[in-house]
């Protein structure tokens, strides 16, 4: 992941591939799902959206099989982001709402904060500023209630972009 953060995507993929092989040998399906998800993130960061979708869908299939609700939600959100980047905001919203329902059931406040922010951004991209502000306000409320200073800053920056 450090290679990924530095933009050294080829090395990041190599390490994620090694982790995938180890998880497969150990029959650690949760780890396999996470490895596929991480490879999707690397391809997304590269702009290889079709490859990212391939890996996200592989991760999702395994997560659904083992009923890893957190990973299912993450996959829906990541797949939604790809659809957003491809300009399909309706599909992105549909997937973001699926991710939201799962996160809401688990009381994952940090996850909810990200999803509310994502839904707000999608409404902004669709030209619905009122809905964008509504969801961004919900994200801010969660960030404030949990004392998440980074979350508060991210929401404020996003909010400022709406005006």
Domain boundary among 54, 88, 122: 88
Residue 42 predicted with pLDDT over 70: yes
List, for residues 46-55, the tens digit of each pLDDT value: 999 999 999 9
Q: CA 100 to CA 88: how far, in whole Å?
A: 18
Query: Tokens 């040998």 map to which residue?
Result: 25
Q: CA 155 to CA 143: how far, in whole Å?
A: 8
Residue 38: give its domain's CATH number: 1.25.40.10
Q: CA 75 to CA 81: how far, in whole Å?
A: 10
In a domain, 158, yes or no: yes
Residue 17 predicted with pLDDT over 90: yes
Domain boundary among 88, 123, 140: 88
Q: In the chain, pLDDT over 70 holds for what percent of residues?
A: 99
> Residues 83, 111: one domain?
no
> Residues 23, 67: one domain?
yes
Do 117 and 135 contact (CB within 8 A), yes or no? yes
Q: What is the pLDDT of residue 86?
A: 96
In a domain, 94, yes or no: no
Mean pLDDT of the 122-136 span: 94
> Residues 83, 155: one domain?
no
Domain containing 138 equals: 107-163
Total domains present in the chain: 2
List, for residues 55-108, the tens digit of each pLDDT value: 999 999 999 999 999 999 999 999 999 999 999 999 999 999 999 999 999 878
For residue 76, give every residue at least 6 positions away whose Cβ sits within 8 Å of its Cβ, in sequence order, or none: 60, 95, 96, 98, 99, 102
> Residues 69, 120: one domain?
no
> Residues 84, 111: one domain?
no
In a domain, 123, yes or no: yes
Query: Tokens 């299939």 map to which residue?
Result: 61
Specify the DSSP class assigned to residue 28: -
Angle at 110 between CA 30 and CA 136, to 5 degrees: 130
């Amino acid at each position: 992941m450090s290679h990924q953060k530095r933009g050294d995507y080829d090395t990041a993929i190599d390490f994620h591939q090694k982790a995938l092989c180890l998880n497969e040998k150990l029959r650690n399906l949760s780890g396999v799902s996470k490895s596929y998800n991480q490879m999707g993130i690397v391809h997304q960061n590269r702009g290889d959206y079709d490859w990212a979708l391939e890996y996200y869908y592989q991760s999702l299939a395994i997560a659904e099989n083992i009923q890893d609700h957190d990973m299912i939600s993450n996959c829906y959100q990541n797949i939604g982001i790809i659809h957003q980047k491809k300009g399909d905001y309706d599909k992105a919203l549909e997937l973001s709402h699926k991710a939201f329902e799962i996160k809401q059931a688990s009381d994952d406040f940090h996850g909810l904060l990200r999803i509310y922010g994502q839904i707000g951004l999608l409404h902004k991209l669709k030209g619905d500023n009122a809905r964008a502000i509504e969801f961004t306000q919900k994200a801010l409320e969660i960030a404030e209630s949990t004392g998440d200073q980074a979350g508060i800053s991210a929401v404020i920056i996003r909010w400022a972009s709406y005006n």
